Amino acid sequence: MKRIAKRVGLLLGVGVAVLIVLNVIVAVLTPSPEIRSNGSAPSVHTEPSGVTGTTGSDAASAARSRRYFADTATWNRPVSEFGRSATYERYAGVFYDFAGGGEASRRGEFKTQFRDYSVPIYDADDATGTASVYQANWAAEQLDMGNVERGDTVPWNPDWKAGTGNDRALIVVNHDSGEAWEFWRAGEPGLNCFDGIGPNVRAGYRPGGDDQLCVATVRYVDNLYSASDADGTTIASRGMGVNKVAMVTRADEVLSGSIRHALELTVTNTMFGEPTCSPADDGSARGAGTRCGFYLPPATRLEWAEGAEDRCGAKRTVEISDENRARMVPPGLRIAIDISDAEIERWLDQRGYSGALRSTAKTFAVAFRDYGAVVAETGCAGVGIQTDGLVNPASADAWKRAGIVDDGSDNPMSDLLDGLVTRDRLYVVEPPG
C-alpha cells in the first residue's frame, strides 16, 4: 500500500469549532499520561539452524523473514568483519557489571522481550483501510511529530495493538514496497489530540473515529531494505538515533533458521552527557567516559545528552558525576560472545531444551556469537532484547511454532538465554570506522 499524503489544512470557523467542542463533551475525559520517566574473531554461521515449519506460502514467508536494511548496515555485517576492540575492551566489564542495574544477581542476565516492551510489527496487507494521524498535545510540547504531518494517512487496522509498557511501540511494514511506519505511544486517548482550533483540528481531526489515530510520534520509512547507518539514511527513532525497527528480532527470522543481524539491547546504564564529549562519536576526547559522555557508531547521538537523573523516575535517579559516568556504556557499543558450536550444544543440554525451543535458543546463541548485540536504548528493568513479540496474533502464532508459548505472564520465556553470556565469553567488537 502506498503512502497517501492527505492535507486538509482548512481554517475552521467559530461555528465548526463549537460543534466539535459539543461532540467532545460527551467523551470521557482522560488525563494525559505520565512521561516515562580471547582469541581470533568467531566464524560466521548464516545457514538455517534447523527450525521447521511454514508461515504460509513460500513467497510470503520469504518476504516476512527478509532482512531489513542494506547489507552495508553495520548491524547486518558479522562481527568477524570488525574484530575485537582493544580500545574499548574495558567496557565488556562495565557492561557485564552494570548494564542490568548493578545488582550482582543480574550480571549476565539477558531478558528476551516477548511481551513487555516488545515491538509488534504488522503487515500492511492486513490493514482494513487507512487512518489519519495526529499528535497528542502533551507530546507536541516536548518533541516534533516525526517526518509526517498532521492529517497524513497511514495503513491501519483498528484491531492492531501497540506493545505494552510506556513506549507502546507499533510498526507497520509493507513488505512489497519496503515502506514502514514507526509509531511511538500509539493509541493515545482521542481527547489527548483535541486542541480546539489548534493544528490537529485544523488538519481535520475528529475525535472518536476508527480512522483517527492519536500518537506521540510517527516516522515514515520508504527504504526499509536499502537504508544503511553507514550513509545517513536511517531515521532517529531509537535512543541511539536509528530506526526503531532496526535489530528487532522477528519470529519469521527465527523460523527461517537464522538471525542475520545484531541483536538489540535495552540497558539501564547508557552513558549520559552534561557535558557531551567533543568529538562525541569515538571516545577520543580527553576524559571520555568519565568527565564527558560519548557514543559509538552505529549510534548517531547520546540519548541522554542533557543528563539522566530522571531516566527511571524519582526512585532510581542517576547523579551526574564522573564516578557514575564511568559505570555507563556508550550507545552503539557492540558486544559479542566467544563460544564454539560444541559449547552452545552443551549450554542447550544444560538448559534442557529440545525440539523447536532448542532450535530457537540455538538461533539466538549463534546470532549473539556471529553478529553480536548493540546497545540501542535505555530501559529500567535490566538488559532486554527486543522481539516482535506476542501482541500481534500472527507473530504470536509464529513464535508458538518456534517454541515460545504465551503463558499469559508479562514476559513469557524471558529467561530463554540464561547462562549463555558469561564474563569470560563476553568481548567488545571494534566499532565501524
CB 364 within 8 A of CB 416: yes
Confidence of residue 317 (pLDDT cuts 50, 70, 90): low
Q: What is the pLDDT of residue 42?
A: 35
In the predicted structure, residue 377 carries a pLDDT above the cut 70: yes
| Span of 32-41, 55-64, 67-76, 265-274 with lowest mean pLDDT | 32-41
CB 299 within 8 A of CB 242: yes
What is the b/e burial string over 86-120, where b = at least 16 CB atoms within 10 angstroms of the residue's CB?
eebeebbebbbbbbbbeeeebbbbbbbbbbbbbbb
pLDDT tens for residues 17-33? 333 333 333 333 333 33
Instruction: Identify which has the larger pLDDT, 326 or 60.
Output: 326
| Span of 44-53, 156-165, 286-295, 326-335 with lowest mean pLDDT | 44-53
pLDDT tens for residues 265-296? 999 999 999 999 999 999 999 999 999 999 99
Q: What is the pLDDT of residue 296?
A: 97
Q: What is the pLDDT of residue 253?
A: 97
| Span of 28-42, 174-188, 279-293, 394-408 with lowest mean pLDDT | 28-42
- CA 37, CA 315: separation in Å to the nearest integer? 10
Per DSSP bridges, beta strands 121-123 and 129-135 are unpaired
In the predicted structure, residue 103 carries a pLDDT above the cut 90: no
Q: What is the pLDDT of residue 37?
A: 27
Q: What is the pLDDT of residue 87?
A: 96
Q: What is the pLDDT of residue 318?
A: 75
In the predicted structure, residue 169 carries a pLDDT above the cut 70: yes
Confidence of residue 314 (pLDDT cuts 50, 70, 90): low
- CA 330, CA 88: separation in Å to the nearest integer? 10
Confidence of residue 58 (pLDDT cuts 50, 70, 90): low
Q: What is the pLDDT of residue 64?
A: 84
Residues 6+ apart with CB under 8 A from 179: 1, 2, 3, 124, 173, 220, 221, 222, 224
pTM of the model: 0.85
388-415 mean pLDDT:
95
| Span of 100-104, 115-119, 284-288, 289-293 with lowest mean pLDDT | 100-104
Q: What is the pLDDT of residue 232?
A: 83
